[in-house]
Structure 1
Amino acid sequence: MGKLRHGVVAVVVLASGVVAAGAAQAAPARPDGVGRITDRVAHALAVELGESGARPALGTAPADPRVLDRRGRLAPTLAAANADVLTAKGLPAGSADLLRVRLGDAGMAVALRDGVAPLVAAAPNDDEATRFTAYEPGGRAVTLSTVEVPSRPVFVVDIDVPTATRLGLDVLRRATGTRSIQSGPIKAAGGYWATQVTRVRVGDNQEPWPKGSSEIFTLAGGFGPDGKATVDPVQMPYLDDENRDYHPNQLLVHWNHYRYNAADVVMMEDDGDTNYSALATALATALLTIVDGGAYTPLVTAILNAMPASWWVDDPDYVESWYTLTTQTSGTITGARGTGVMDVRPYWVEEL
């Protein structure tokens, strides 16, 4: 069953060299991405499995990696790795324990129960890769195919993407000022109009078997009552599988947030490596350059252009976009890329 997935966006940080006392100082080392961090965790867990001889049962549901640390020796390693993951994703220090481990495929459970020694691997970041590294108990590296599911069980280390996305959208809201938006001129006495999604379907390509679930979120963009461009992040945690209809009845655009009767929607996904601080900074910078000239300006292009070209080899992944929704927009609307479809309708939100 295919999960929603695209190519991933890597954040490139440029540092300027500083010359002091006639010698150039080296720029600080760039922090490791999520993939490198989880690979280190996978190796550490494999070494521990080899030394302990344990064969723990593990399902396809994500679990705390400490379930594989039967002797409790990896607590400092796992704590440091989790702190590094939060830094790599641009999330507040200590905000969550994001590391997770799971069985790579449900069909591996039988071999695991029969006592077959499992491999341990980090979920690969590159959707286009055909091979990735796993570790034998004891730590010896082996190469696996991302296309063919092995008969030998594989414990896959990745992160809690739903929790990371929830925290990341809070970072976006703070950076883009959406929490401070006041009621705009479209609000009527006793309530306001919103746009409700009654059905949504997104098509995508089949992802490699070791990849975990992604997390979809949308950025609803428009001009706030103060005339400044703004983006309102909306999490869509239910939208897991490609080519499947979902009926969330979710409010997507809150029209009391906007000055004009028009807004754009950009749908994206986080499949593990998104740096929300970097994304928030890029979006906030891009929005500052957009001036309200007395007529609505579409924001989809501005949002996408906020991301350097180098980001499009890693995530956050661009999924789909819809231009110029209004308070009257109703019925089936197809995205600009042709891969996403939504049924929407106006919805009156009454005051209590």
Structure 2
Amino acid sequence: MKKFTVLMMSLLAILMTSCETQEESSIPEIETLISVNDQVVLDFIEVFNETNNSELILGELTANKFPISLETISSKISKTKRSEQFLSFAKTTKNINQREAYEFWLHFDGNKLDPQKLLVAFSPENAEKLNTITAFDLKGNKIALDPMISPDVPVIIIEKNGFHALQLRVEAMNQMLKDAGLQSKDAITFDQSQSFSKASLETTKLTKIELKDDQEPWIKGGAEIYAVTSGIRNTNNEAELKVIPMYYLDHDDEAYYPNQIMLFWDEYRYQAANIQLFEQDSNYNYQELIGIIIDGVAQIAGTLSGQSWINALGTIAGAIIEVLPDSWLTDDDDYVDSFYTIEKNKSYSNYYGASRNAKVNLSPFTVLEN
């Protein structure tokens, strides 16, 4: 009996020791917990530090005004197991619910770049609400930066909701408008204008634009601006909407001369249309924004046929503004400005939008057939 008791006590001790070991091993160390975005940065730093990669990547970043895509990075760097792992993780997402594209750009306000001082940071979605931004040096050490004060050292920024993501989302937003019946199936884009059936296209061209305030922290880089144009499609006053990307429009208080076609007059029944400017932001994704606009225009659709066309045009633009969240019209940067009732054959010089956040030059322009 004594031997049996000793044996049972020994087994119990072994079981207790085993349980304690399992519990200890199942609790992660706090110091090892790290965000997904920070891990992307650390993985990129490892790839960057591999032979020749730093020189190739920095050369590409300094040579380009716009952010470079993950595909461009992939074509430049050495193909190793580590780089393949990084590229497979940070891939472009093109599904309907989440169109994201990793991109890279260099923030540096100085004259001579010192690679030894280089930092890398991931652009957070809520940068304007943070007290500090997490960056890492090339040894993987964590550095805290002020989101509103531009650092005096070079920083490679990684983000997935910027310039290249907007390119993917504009296509999706226009498709949503078509599916909702708010954009005709034969709506014209500049790329399609060569194959348009008419010998010439009458358009209105944006020749100059300047933003007063894009309200962006330095780590979010250039503003991703796009326009929502609206007009009257037919005698029933049905609305015609289109999303037009403005990729070049980066910073406030700087004039841009894009010569970009904004309005194709063959899409409208009458000779006036609206142009409203928005900024891609993380508060609402592109599906939510277009969903809000579609709902707002749909709510007033039944009232348009009884109005004069000029009143209907104003009602459409007003409906777009009225359904926006209140914060967009106060201290957020999603809504930029509105230009109402732009006429077909009229030129506009230093013309302010309703909110005076944007100033434009617009002029009539005929695209002739080759």
When the two structures are superposed, what TM-score results if normalisation uses the length of structure 1?
Answer: 0.69
One-letter code aligned to 1:100: E
1:335 aligns with: 353
Contact 1:215 1:237 in 2 (8 A): yes
Contact 1:329 1:345 in 2 (8 A): yes
Superposition map of 1:75-114 within 5 A: 75-83=84-92, 86=94, 90-91=98-99, 98-105=101-108, 107=110, 110-112=113-115
Superposition map of 1:127-276 within 5 A: 127=128, 129-137=130-138, 139-159=140-160, 161-177=162-178, 178-181=183-186, 191=200, 193-204=202-213, 207-225=216-234, 227-270=237-280, 275-276=285-286
> What do residues 137-173 of structure 1 show as CA deviations (whole Å, max 9, x unaligned)?
4645331123444455432212483332222221121
2:298 aligns with: 288
Distance of aligned partners of 1:142 and 1:239 in 2 relative to their CA distance in 1, 3 Å threshold: closer
Distance of aligned partners of 1:163 and 1:55 in 2 relative to their CA distance in 1, 3 Å threshold: closer
| Greater fraction helix | 2
Distance of aligned partners of 1:294 and 1:159 in 2 relative to their CA distance in 1, 3 Å threshold: same
| 1:56 partnered with 2:54 | yes
Contact 2:296 2:319 in 1 (8 A): yes
- The unaligned stretches of length 5 or more in structure 1 are 1-35, 184-188
- The unaligned stretches of length 5 or more in structure 2 are 1-34, 189-197
> What do residues 269-312 of structure 1 show as CA deviations (whole Å, max 9, x unaligned)?
23678632333333223222222233232233322344445778
2:119 aligns with: 119
> What do residues 197-255 of structure 1 show as CA deviations (whole Å, max 9, x unaligned)?
23222221564333322232211112222632231122222323322333333322222
One-letter code aligned to 1:245: A
Distance of aligned partners of 1:137 and 1:86 in 2 relative to their CA distance in 1, 3 Å threshold: farther
| 1:322 partnered with 2:331 | no
Question: How many residues were matched structurally?
Answer: 302
Task: Please state how far the C-alpha of 1:322 moved relative to its aligned partner.
Answer: 0.8
Task: Please state how far the C-alpha of 1:121 moved relative to its aligned partner.
Answer: 1.0
Contact 2:222 2:249 in 1 (8 A): no
1:12 aligns with: none
SS of 2:363 mapped into structure 1: strand
CA distance in 2, matches of 1:55, 1:279: 39
Task: Please state how far the C-alpha of 1:110 moved relative to its aligned partner.
Answer: 3.4
Identity %: 25
| 1:41 partnered with 2:18 | no
CA distance in 1, matches of 2:249, 2:152: 29
Distance of aligned partners of 1:218 and 1:181 in 2 relative to their CA distance in 1, 3 Å threshold: same
One-letter code aligned to 1:56: S
Contact 2:211 2:252 in 1 (8 A): yes
Distance of aligned partners of 1:268 and 1:205 in 2 relative to their CA distance in 1, 3 Å threshold: closer
Distance of aligned partners of 1:138 and 1:311 in 2 relative to their CA distance in 1, 3 Å threshold: farther
One-letter code aligned to 2:296: A
SS of 1:156 mapped into structure 2: strand
Task: Please state how far the C-alpha of 1:179 moved relative to its aligned partner.
Answer: 4.7
- Two-structure CA RMSD over aligned residues (Å): 3.8
Contact 2:328 2:335 in 1 (8 A): no
Task: Please state how far the C-alpha of 1:337 moved relative to its aligned partner.
Answer: 0.9
CA distance in 2, matches of 1:312, 1:39: 33
Contact 2:205 2:362 in 1 (8 A): yes
One-letter code aligned to 2:121: A
SS of 1:180 mapped into structure 2: coil
Which of the pair has more CA radius of gyration?
2
> What do residues 33-78 of structure 1 show as CA deviations (whole Å, max 9, x unaligned)?
xxx764441243346668x699823244444455688743253454
The 10-residue stretch of structure 1 (331-340 or 311-320) with the greater mean CA deviation from structure 2: 311-320
When the two structures are superposed, what TM-score results if normalisation uses the length of structure 2?
Answer: 0.67
